[in-house]
Structure 1
Amino acid sequence: MKAELLLTNAKIRTMDTSRPLAQSLAVLNGRIVAIGDNHELANLAGPDTIVLDLKEKTVLPAFIDAHEHLSWFSESSLTLNCSPQKVNSIKKLLSLVKWETDIARPGEWIRGVLYDDTKMSENRFLNRRDLDIAAPNNPVIVIHVSGHWAVVNSAALKLGELNRHSVNPRGGALGRDTSTGSLDGVLLEMAMFDFAFESLATKPTIVPPFPRMIRKKAAIEAAKELNRSGISGVSDALCPPSYITTYHDLMIAKELPLRVNIIIPYIFLNHLENLGLIGGWGNEWVRSAGIKIIVDGAIAGHTSALKDGHEDDPDDHGILLIEDQLELDQVVQRIHNMNYQACIHANGDLAIEMSLNAIEQAQQKRPGLTPRHRIEHCTMITDNILKRMHQLNVMALPFASYLWQHGEKLKPFYGQRAHRMFAHNSFLNAGVRVAASSDHPVGLQSPLLGLQCMVTRQASTGEIIRPQEKISIDEAFKMYTAYAAYATGEETIKGTLSLGKLADMVVLNRDPWSIPPEEISQIGVVNTIVDGKIVYAHEE
């Protein structure tokens, strides 16, 4: 037997406790067939073997982002980047919209993403009238960085048949001018989802989806971008039907450079029930193990459901997209009965407690089923929440780098409760399983930045927020590898560099264990290897 790929002279950190370190690794047919010292594997090199002499570079299991939005990210290149890195004022944002309008066809949609109201120099919200001036004849939607609300112009409201007489949708709200009652263009939660998100809309969206071939090309480019960060797999945490088709197209064409776990919105659960399609279907490239439920809003969007309200507005308890505990119980029971993971988006303590109530009831009614239910984000924790999660064997998927990205707004929004957010160490100490996630493009996608943030608890401002929640570098890397594989029920085939497992690896130019933790995000990705093939190589 000769290997197709042979790594030599490497510092291989396997994340496998039975053999944590090695120098050489061999791959055949996309699987790891040997791992050991250089001399032990030297005879596996044949005339057709690709040999990588890594000159003491560090090799790890490639990163797995357990909660990412690849389908949304795929369309980022087709929309206006309104992030603070691109525009730091409403004036600049409107200039960007006007520039796009000037080259657009009459009536063509102008779509912007990643707008952050807290980082605009005018210190006010974008509104309908602003967008009307920049784009009087084209419909416009600008989606907030939280992904839970948006601002549209008058042309868009007209297409959606929304006016001052429109009522708030269930689980959402229409923003209004407090003095006149007229719509100000803000669409909150289900008001936005029904308007623009195919993954959650109960009817065809007002903002049209992109065509199939455009989606396919965009998804390839987005996946390659993630490869550049060392990522070999993601869970698409709110996958619309059109992208299930897209991932299938790419899998059949063998054009998908990473692995995708599809998390399907619960509004499509009845289709799976009618088909009798039990959870955990697919293969190592495209599979589905979970069903997504969104119970509340966003931490950065000021819409998470809180028992005691927000620090800056105690009467604002956020938004519940599912207000009735009985309704949530019934949905979770159906998911549990089909042996899918209930992947429940819950940020606020109120939403988390409702989610745990529903999971507990489902387990009591069908104790023989053991899907690994998850609380996505699981931000506003309490000691009782931790205790219940451990008792119910519920996983947590907190944000990895939100502290870096949004640290400056947490205390104004949440006061001392901000110290309990993104509590990786508290979860571990309570015996709760944790996997790392970015929530990208809502969050920053770099796994290395996420790792640095979990280890240092440092925001971009330099502030250290609750150092008691720091975790070890070993645990941080496990959250992006072994624990992330466990989060999708795939720990037997990936997450560690072990014999027989998928040959998904990342090569780094520095050893994270040998540098100050504040420098982890500066480490360079040299290669990303998926299925034994080099899908990314850094150009010197």
Structure 2
Amino acid sequence: MGGDHPSDMRGDPSRQDTPAERALTRRRFVLTGAAAGAAVPLAGGLGGTAAAAGPPSTTGRGRSGSDGEPDLILLNGKIHTMDPDNTVVRVVSIKNGRFARVGGGAPTPGSGTRVIDLRGRTVVPGIIDSHNHIVLLGNRPGFHTPLENAFSVADVQETYATRATAVPERGWITTIGGFHQNQLFPPDQTPRLPTLDELDEAVPKNPAYISQGFAGPSTTNSLGKSFFESRGIPVADDGSIAAGPEATGRATLTLRETLLTFEERKRGAGEAMAFGLGLGVTTHLDQGAFQATGTPSDGAAHEDNFTMHLPFLAVHREGNLNARLQINFLHMDASTDVPTLTERLKNAFPFFGDDMLGTGGIGEFLAEGLGDTWSEAARRVAEAGWRGEVHSLTGTDFQTEIAGFEAVNREFPIADLRWVVAHVPFITEDWLDRLKALGGGVNLTSWRYFAGTAQNNGPPFRMIVDNGINAGMGGDGMQIAPMNPWIQIYYATTGRNARGEVINDGQQITRHEALRLYTASNGWFLRREDDLGTIEPGKLADLVVLNKDYFAVLDEDLRRNLRSVLTVVGGRIVHDAGMLD
């Protein structure tokens, strides 16, 4: 990955956004992301000339994977295929949900072909998020409104005010996890959550509830304060709600019990997927939840592991699941007979489903802790031929996990099962080599972006990419990290946290490397590298047209302003910001 690669270039700082680019405001993004449901009609028309930007490098091979009249043609773009040769082409055509022709001249459209002139815009493969909690996001109470793309209290107010235009009066507007007060203030100011008065100014006719991380702190407005106090939940005069089960825990539980019906969960599932599609995320590998207890001790990461997927299955059954979802099953048995895991392994199938929705492996927890119960769980997962996925957060836990994998492998070989250790902020190369020898991989997240420091940083992106082990990226949203892949990539490429402080110096990777982790490399984690991750003939036709050139924008634009203007999944337009009309 040399310095001359297009991904290492940065754009001209003097370049001004076009009117169309300026039109993709936070208001428009919030409204589009909330509009879940059927695919939107195709925008664009036949013809047009190439944009004034210089031609992308291309082999011009015009590889073809399907004959006959295409359903969709995209032309005059800078289409980064992310194939092994890093080919960049101008034209791609799609037929029957798969890429038909990539590069070369534009194919002749038929009477039923739709054509989009990209006008020089940058196109990348659909983003694969190989480690997140999209199912939890879809099961939030109220009209949930992610705040990961807010950079000030004013941004929060604008996002909430915009959301209110599409929410019934007195309908709850909520944000539970997926953001941090650190992102709202520069380093020379003390971070805090919005106050009651600030939320009243934004949404005077709707109760509001904003809760940080797993269990607060939280904040509300006047309507929310009245509601919570009527139920004995303490709220300060400024709207603040203390962290922990006695205040935030009770508040979140009360909203769940009051607001969540199956139809509301279905709406939330569709909106969660739509939010991701607006960022260019076309495939999610969900990592489960802690089992809900129905008490105030439940936090943002708790749900009913046996019913929380049902709204997504219902949306899929109705033909409205517009992004791909693969489901891992998280287990936290505390005894060596591992009862819930045993039943799962008896009654479910790994990597089973269709192109849009299916199962994955066991993870990101196999059992509670890392003792005898965990070892027995790992043994049973391997014996059943499932993929196991765990996570590492400390300087030593990965050693126990990888040594445990080795012990299991001696009895039940796992080399073909693709076992994974996620996060790995402090993993060392000797242990990475041991995991690689088992056929395993590591999933990297930029979760330190919100609140990391130079002492609590990682992961070692540079060392891991150079090592050559199977590696990919996931957001770990939506509790303590953002889903937004461009924020994640900002951290991976700059080493800077939400307050702009360099905390992961020496481990930065290039934009091209980071994008590969989110696309071509991530197919491995879903066992679908032959179908997903690159724009090549015969693969499923997932792609993203960006509002700005990912390889050229300045770093601040990368985390603040990069969005999809058009997202395609399986050849269908599933997100359209109206900028290619």
Please report the TM-score for the alignment, with normalisation by the length of structure 1: 0.71
Tell me, in whole angstroms, the C-alpha distance in 2 between the residues paired with 1:330 and 1:256.
36
Q: Deviations over 1:311-333 (max 9, x none)?
A: xxxxxxxxxx8345221111112
Deviations 1:42-88 (A, max 9, x none): 22x11111101111111110111111211221244627779796998
CA gap 1:386/1:209 in 2 versus in 1, 3 angstroms: farther
1:74 aligns to 2:126 (yes or no):
no
1:291 aligned to 2:328? no
Structure 1 residue 211: Cα displacement: 2.5
Match of 2:383 among 337, 341, 344: 337
Report which of the two has the higher share of strand. 1
Among the aligned pairs, what percent are the same residue? 19
Aligned match for 1:523, one of 562, 568, 572 = 562
**Is the Cα contact below 8 Å between 2:382 and 2:414 reproduced in 1?**
no
Aligned to 1:460, which of 476, 483, 498? 498
Kindly indicate whether structure 1 or structure 2 has the higher relative contact order, using CA contacts under 8 Å at least 6 residues apart: 2
| Distance of aligned partners of 1:122 and 1:81 in 2 relative to their CA distance in 1, 3 Å threshold | farther
Q: What's the offset of the Cα at 1:233?
A: 0.8
Deviation readout 1:316-367 (Å, 9 max, x if unpaired): xxxxx83452211111121222222212132112332222122122212112
Change (3 A) 1:384 1:230: same
Given candidates 475, 480, 497, the residue that maps to 1:438 is 475
Contact 1:81 1:113 in 2 (8 A): no
Q: Which is helix-richer, 1 or 2?
A: 1
Give the equivalent residue in structure 1 for 2:449.
404
Distance in 2 separating the partners of 1:479 and 1:263 = 20
The 2-side partners of 1:523 and 1:515 are apart by 9
Deviations along 1:120-157, one digit per CA (max 9) or x if unpaired, are 999999xxxxxxxxxxxxxx998641x3788999x99x
Q: Is the 8 A contact 1:232 1:504 kept in 2?
A: yes
- Over 3 Å counting, the alpha-carbon distance change for 1:122 and 1:454 in structure 2 is closer
| TM-score (normalizing by structure 2) | 0.66
**1: CA distance between counterparts of 2:103 and 2:175?**
51
CA contact (8 A) 2:266 2:315 kept: yes
- The residue number in structure 2 matching 1:301 is none
Shift of 1:271: 2.8
- List per-residue Cα deviations over 1:80-136 (Å, max 9, x = no partner): 779796998xxx9xxxxxxxxxx999xx9x9954685879999999xxxxxxxxxxx
Distance in 2, Cα, partners of 1:113 & 1:341:
28
The CA distance in 2 between the partners of 1:513 and 1:117, in whole Å, is 29
Partners of 2:147 and 2:80 lie apart in 1 by: 36
Q: Which runs of 5+ in 2 are unaligned?
A: 1-67, 158-168, 194-207, 220-224, 232-241, 290-304, 333-339
Determine the structure 2 residue equivalent to 1:271: 343
Distance 1:464 1:51, change over 3 A: same
Distance 1:124 1:20, change over 3 A: closer
Task: Give the stretch that moved more between structures: 213-222 or 78-87.
Answer: 78-87
SS state at 1:7 partner: strand
Structure 1 equivalent of residue 410 of structure 2: 364
Distance in 1 separating the partners of 2:484 and 2:181: 23
2:96 corresponds in structure 1 to 29
Aligned length: 443
Contact 2:461 2:507 in 1 (8 A): yes
Residues 534 and 362 of structure 1: CA distance in aligned 2, closer, same or farther (over 3 Å): same
Q: Is the 8 A contact 2:141 2:259 kept in 1?
A: no
114, 136, 139: which is aligned to 1:50?
114
Work out the CA distance in 1 between the residues paired with 2:86 and 2:504: 34
Which residue, 230, 250, 270 being the options, matches 1:220? Answer: 270
SS at match of 2:307: helix
Does residue 528 of structure 2 align to residue 482 of structure 1? no
- Separation of aligned partners in 1, 2:341 and 2:497: 39
AA of the residue aligned to 1:539 = G
2:37 aligns with none
Q: Which amino acid aligns with 2:271?
A: E
**CA contact under 8 A between 1:403 and 1:458: conserved in structure 2?**
no
Query: Residue 285 of structure 2 aligns with which residue?
Result: 235
Q: Secondary structure at the match of 1:506?
A: strand
Q: CA deviation at 1:254?
A: 1.2
